[in-house]
Chains A and B, each alone.
Chain A
């Protein structure tokens, strides 16, 4: 094939390969019993072990949003409780999911790509297959499942900790008292916000793990290839999160 045609066709080939990989993963769900333990391990690695860093990022996001909202509220006509009404939906609808997603792109996406990439170049994936194991089922299903199941958990943690960070920042800077902050949040609370965030976190959880698995699983070219895959996985996860964020907002809001 000429070089130009290859260039144009490459993204489509990647999407095709990704789709085939994911449908294979889906097909091997019926053997889930075999991969149960692996799924547990991945849930701990992707979910539990990410809690500290997600919590840290969420607390700071909440605090920064609070301080900046307070800074932008210059009109004496606007009551300070509005800060709560701005910060809480920002966290539940956007920051909670997206900050978690970005953190996980780096932490989980890169890790998955590095793990699977190394397994590919050291023939561990071939070894699994040669043993008669379904490598997609064994390696990819647990990771994607763990992502889908655990990222929403992290999202909830991020929201709660983010709100607490916001309240703390409000109290510390004296912008608004915490009861007023909560009052504002309650008055303008929209029940759809948390569900929207939850939907996002499911989607992000799938995207991060699935794309990183895809990139890692098809790593080529030794240690160098593993490095490339790692970077690509982190970058692709971030980009896809941004795109999915917009698409979901357009579709659901």
Chain B
């Protein structure tokens, strides 16, 4: 009787303990026995990943998240995967699965199968795809900076040209040549910049599409900010186009000898001014071509967001 009771209680307690332990491991999708392999990753934005969320490879659950910690540069995630899943070098991690019905999960994109396997406990790099915002942060200031500089240059060229044309000038031939030089240089810069701008714009468009495919709440603010950037960008480009058209018209009219050209030929002092202006324009353009980063450096994304 006495031993019987002890046995019953002992069995029940041990069994309950084991079942509780195994049940939790089962529901967390951890291997029931043995140690799961633990890895870490750092995401800029965890998108609401929580302890217990699934770790997924090609849509198949292979483990779960065991710890989510806030760090200065984002979220530090510790997760475990089944022992037989080999995380080869080149594997990247990203947070995914937004929406109301499916829950957040940590997606792993495996590296090439013949690459060496990551040691347990190593830091799996975050994939670029998940870093939409980081991407944007890197690229947007470059794009905007370049465009702004181009616009500054073109406006200056135009005002210089205007000044030149409204004042009377005796040495017509020189002036015209000077203007032609400046305008030619300007046009060359514009053409070169247009090519690179086109590429940058395509890039941004691509980014926007990627971004739109994420509908999570956490991205809402960033998306709005990005939209603003794009709006601003297109406004600037419109302005650039108008300016260029204007400039072209002006130059065409000078070439054909019409308009205010008569006045321009009669004033000496204005010639000097026009000369100086065109020199200044040339300096700016040269400087810009040589050293564009100097103009871009201070244009950080933070100013626009």
Using CB atoms and an 8 Å cutoff, list the residues of chain A in contact with chain B: 37, 40-41, 43-44, 47-48, 51, 77-79, 82, 88, 149-150, 152-153, 156-157, 159-160, 183, 185-191, 194, 198
Contact = CB atoms under 8 A, between A and B. Distances in A.
A150 B101 CA distance: 38
Interface in B24-67: 24, 27-29, 50-54, 61
A194 B13 contact: no
B33 to A, nearest CB: 17
A186 B16 contact: no
B27 A186 contact: yes
9 contacts: A40-B6, A43-B5, A44-B9, A47-B12, A48-B8, A79-B101, A157-B19, A185-B27, A198-B20
A37 B2 contact: yes
Contacts of B216: none
B291 interface: no
Nearest to A49: B8
Contacts of B13: 149, 153
Contacts of A198: 20
A188 B9 contact: no
A77 B54 CA distance: 22
B20 A40 contact: no
B296 to A, nearest CB: 45
The 4 A-B residue pairs with the shortest CB-CB distance, nearest first, are A153-B16, A156-B16, A189-B27, A40-B5
B122 interface: no
B103 interface: yes
Contacts of B61: 183, 186-187
A236 to B, nearest CB: 27
Contact of A191 (B8, B52, B103): B52
A41 B52 contact: no
A187 B6 contact: no
B3 to A, nearest CB: 10
A198 B16 CA distance: 11
B220 interface: no
B102 interface: yes
**Interface hub of A77, A152, A186 (most chain B Cβ within 10 A):** A186
B101 A47 contact: no
A224 B37 CA distance: 64
Contact of B102 (A47, A159, A185, A187): A187
B116 interface: no
Given A40-B9, A44-B5, A189-B27, A156 B19 contact: yes
A44 B13 CA distance: 11
Nearest to B97: A187
B17 to A, nearest CB: 8
A20 B225 CA distance: 65
Contacts of B5: 40-41, 43-44
B23 interface: yes
B16 A157 contact: yes
Interface centre among B2, B13, B27, B102 (most CB of A within 10 A): B27
Contact of B29 (A43, A78, A156, A186): A186
Contacts of B50: 190
Contacts of A41: 5
B287 to A, nearest CB: 58
Contact of B28 (A40, A149, A150, A186): A186
A43 B50 CA distance: 38
Contacts of A188: 103
Nearest to A77: B101
A191 B12 contact: no
B94 to A, nearest CB: 17
Given A150-B12, A185-B27, A191-B52, 11 more contacts: A43-B5, A51-B12, A149-B13, A153-B13, A156-B17, A156-B23, A186-B29, A187-B102, A188-B103, A189-B28, A190-B52
A194 B8 contact: no
A77 B99 CA distance: 12
A237 B29 CA distance: 37
A251 B54 CA distance: 28
Contacts of B102: 187
A78 B100 CA distance: 10
Contacts of A40: 2, 5-6, 9
A78 B101 contact: yes
Contacts of A44: 5, 8-9
Contact of A194 (B9, B20, B101): B20
Contact of A48 (B12, B27, B28, B52): B12
